[in-house]
A and B are shown apart, each in its own frame.
Chain A
Amino acid sequence: MASQSSSRLLKLALPLVKTHGFTREALSRSVLTLPSNEQHAEPLSDSAITALFGRGDFARRTLIDAWLEDGLAHMASESSDANGGATPAKKATIRDVLRARLKYNEPVLAHLPDAFGLMASSGFHVVDPLPVLEHAARIADRACYTTGDRSLQLEWYAKRASVAAVYAAAELHQLTSPHTTYAFLDSLLDSTSNIKATLGEVGLYSEYVFKSWKGIIKSSGILPL
């Protein structure tokens, strides 16, 4: 029950990120948006924020995590909306899902560098890129899941790695040049599919060369038939 209450406040704080950023202030003001019968007269005190969400930047990290989690849910819902409630036969594409996720970034774009900076800071004045990479990997995994990707074994990893790389690059581009983000995403996805096709052709050709050489060696009598 108690954790439900703090999760509820986190949810209420998400729309406030647009105006207050990923700050303790956004968390403290969440109580002002409770339904009228539960509404507080003033924002929560700093000690209350610490009690509920942790000290200093821990509270901000909690808010960032909640925002990222909400972004994953948003991807699925937005992509199905974009398809007008797509039927199972007409599932959303990777392009739709990634576009939806980038669109989710738009209202808080000004605060994202700060959020990624906080995610990458380990507290020992050392940059830790893992949380940011993990963020891209989770989005890639959710995109593949939403689009019904059925890759197996090595291809499963390869697909997610390529989607994560595309998304990470597009998001980075979005931070510096928001107006060209979607065109950039499209170009990345197109070149990725070109690379994949090229790699596929290279694989096929290599297999052909290998089989040919094997046939020549066998016919020459070096290998048993």
Chain B
Amino acid sequence: MQTLNRSNRCLKLRSIQSLVRLNHTKSTSNTPLEDSHSARTTSFGFRTVPEDLKESLVKNVFDSVASKYDLMNDATSFGVHRLWKDTLVSSLRPGRRGPMKCIDVGGGTGDIALRILDYAKDNHYDRETTVEVVDINAQMLKEGYKRFKQTMYHNTPQISFHEANAQDLGSEKFKDNSYDLYTIAFCIRNCTDISAVLKEAHRVLKPGGTFACLEFSRVSNPLLETLYDQYSFTVIPMMGTILAGDRDSYQYLVESIRKFPPQPQFAQMIRDVGFTTGKDVDGGAWVNQWGGIACIHTGVKL
């Protein structure tokens, strides 16, 4: 039954992707209507899609991969994504100067939230730090909620799950100047409007609050880049087929990494919305992980 459901989801995704390809083909014609339509397009992996369609496409991708998301992350990165997430959290040192109010956007499966709470507890005896996990995808939140049931944080004020769009969290629920720490890991590249996400982050953070983003990025070493390209375009989609029965979703995930802006450009985008960053070097505005395969960008709202 589950297999059938997954097949249905894949079929749905594929049919939407066919539609996308059709739209994309159409948008190359010269009629004024279609020109205005193509003016509001965005990337969906290597394809160009209308902006308003990307959100549902990405939602379908994550609906499709939610149940196997962590397994696939482990398989495709040989567990390295855990090290990167550990590095992100340990560099932020939550709880060092007392309890923090944190928001983890796009953190459905609760990977970062759990690390933040554990770090604060284990290193600073802090059981007052709170994390609000936000995700646009209910399936991913469900996975996170399920995982937290196994922990001591379940049913405590330390953790809560919210379904919301990173581009517009909603000022009713997520008030201005209310968080000490905003984290977003492996999510922002899937958003239609990255600047809108950054603006929302700036809005909800308190003055002095920190924005931290862990995301795949650009590899600086040409040899490593070639190896990485070969691996990600051949092995990862194949693993997606074998382990999750879904090649297209993993093909999209790999393509979306290549479409994400390189480190200096993303650092500038962070500054453009009002954050202050360190210098534009590795170890300043960003810290490369494994030669730039992933990267931690940080900024401070002053």
Identity of the chain B residue whose Cβ is nearest the Cβ of A53 in the assembled complex: B278
> For A58, what are the chain B residues with a Cβ–Cβ distance below 8 Å?
283
- A54 to B278, Cβ gap below 8 A? yes
Identity of the chain A residue whose Cβ is nearest the Cβ of B268 in the assembled complex: A2
- A51 to B298, Cβ gap below 8 A? yes
Is B66 interfacial (CB-CB < 8 Å)?
A: no
Is B100 interfacial (CB-CB < 8 Å)?
A: yes
- B278 to A48, Cβ gap below 8 A? no
Q: Is the interface of A mostly helix, strand, loop or mixed?
A: helix
Complex CA–CA separation, A42 to B298 (angstroms):
20
- A50 to B208, Cβ gap below 8 A? no
> For B276, what are the chain A residues with a Cβ–Cβ distance below 8 Å?
2, 5-6, 52
Q: Encode B86-122 as 1/0 by CB contact (under 8 A) with A.
A: 0000011110110010000000000000000000000
- Measured CB to CB, the closest approach of chain A to B116, in angstroms, equals 11
Identity of the chain B residue whose Cβ is nearest the Cβ of A49 in the assembled complex: B300
Once A2-B271, A51-B300, A58-B283 are accepted as A-B contacts, the answer to whether A31 and B277 lie under 8 Å apart by CB is: no
Q: Encode B209-229 as 1/0 by CB contact (under 8 A) with A.
A: 111100000000000000000
Complex CA–CA separation, A8 to B284 (angstroms):
16
Q: Encode A82-116 as 1/0 by CB contact (under 8 A) with B.
A: 00000000000000000000000000000000000
Is A196 interfacial (CB-CB < 8 Å)?
A: no
- B208 to A51, Cβ gap below 8 A? no
Complex CA–CA separation, A67 to B300 (angstroms):
23
> For B275, what are the chain A residues with a Cβ–Cβ distance below 8 Å?
2
- B277 to A46, Cβ gap below 8 A? no
> For B298, what are the chain A residues with a Cβ–Cβ distance below 8 Å?
47, 50-51
> For A47, what are the chain B residues with a Cβ–Cβ distance below 8 Å?
91-94, 181, 210, 212, 298
Identity of the chain A residue whose Cβ is nearest the Cβ of B284 in the assembled complex: A54
- A31 to B208, Cβ gap below 8 A? yes
Q: Which of A40, A44, A51, A55 is close to B277, meaning CB atoms less than 8 Å apart?
A: A51
Give residues of chain A (64-85) contacting chain B, Cβ–Cβ below 8 Å: none
Once A46-B93, A47-B93, A47-B181 are accepted as A-B contacts, the answer to whether A52 and B212 lie under 8 Å apart by CB is: no
Once A2-B277, A45-B97 are accepted as A-B contacts, the answer to whether A40 and B210 lie under 8 Å apart by CB is: no
Complex CA–CA separation, A77 to B280 (angstroms):
31
Query: Could you tell me how many residues of chain B have their Cβ less than 8 Å away from some Cβ of chain A?
Result: 29
Q: Which of A31, A43, A50 is close to B93, meaning CB atoms less than 8 Å apart?
A: A50
Complex CA–CA separation, A53 to B283 (angstroms):
9
Complex CA–CA separation, A43 to B302 (angstroms):
11
- Measured CB to CB, the closest approach of chain A to B208, in angstroms, equals 5
- A40 to B208, Cβ gap below 8 A? yes
- A50 to B92, Cβ gap below 8 A? yes
Is B146 interfacial (CB-CB < 8 Å)?
A: no
Complex CA–CA separation, A111 to B300 (angstroms):
28
Is B299 interfacial (CB-CB < 8 Å)?
A: yes
Is A222 interfacial (CB-CB < 8 Å)?
A: no
- Measured CB to CB, the closest approach of chain A to B269, in angstroms, equals 12
Identity of the chain A residue whose Cβ is nearest the Cβ of B181 in the assembled complex: A47
Is B154 interfacial (CB-CB < 8 Å)?
A: no
Q: Which of A9, A31, A46, A52 is close to B97, meaning CB atoms less than 8 Å apart?
A: A46
Is A152 interfacial (CB-CB < 8 Å)?
A: no
- Measured CB to CB, the closest approach of chain A to B183, in angstroms, equals 10
- Measured CB to CB, the closest approach of chain A to B166, in angstroms, equals 20
> For B212, what are the chain A residues with a Cβ–Cβ distance below 8 Å?
47, 51
Is B175 interfacial (CB-CB < 8 Å)?
A: no
Once A45-B208, A48-B210, A51-B210 are accepted as A-B contacts, the answer to whether A5 and B302 lie under 8 Å apart by CB is: yes
Residues of B within 8 A of A (CB): 91-94, 96-97, 100, 180-181, 207-212, 271, 275-280, 283-285, 298-300, 302
> What would be 21 A-B contacts, judged by CB atoms less than 8 Å apart?
A2-B277, A6-B278, A9-B302, A31-B302, A38-B302, A40-B208, A40-B302, A43-B97, A45-B180, A45-B181, A46-B92, A47-B91, A47-B93, A48-B300, A50-B92, A50-B93, A51-B210, A51-B212, A51-B278, A51-B300, A54-B284
Residues of A within 8 A of B (CB): 1-3, 5-6, 9, 31, 38, 40, 42-48, 50-55, 58
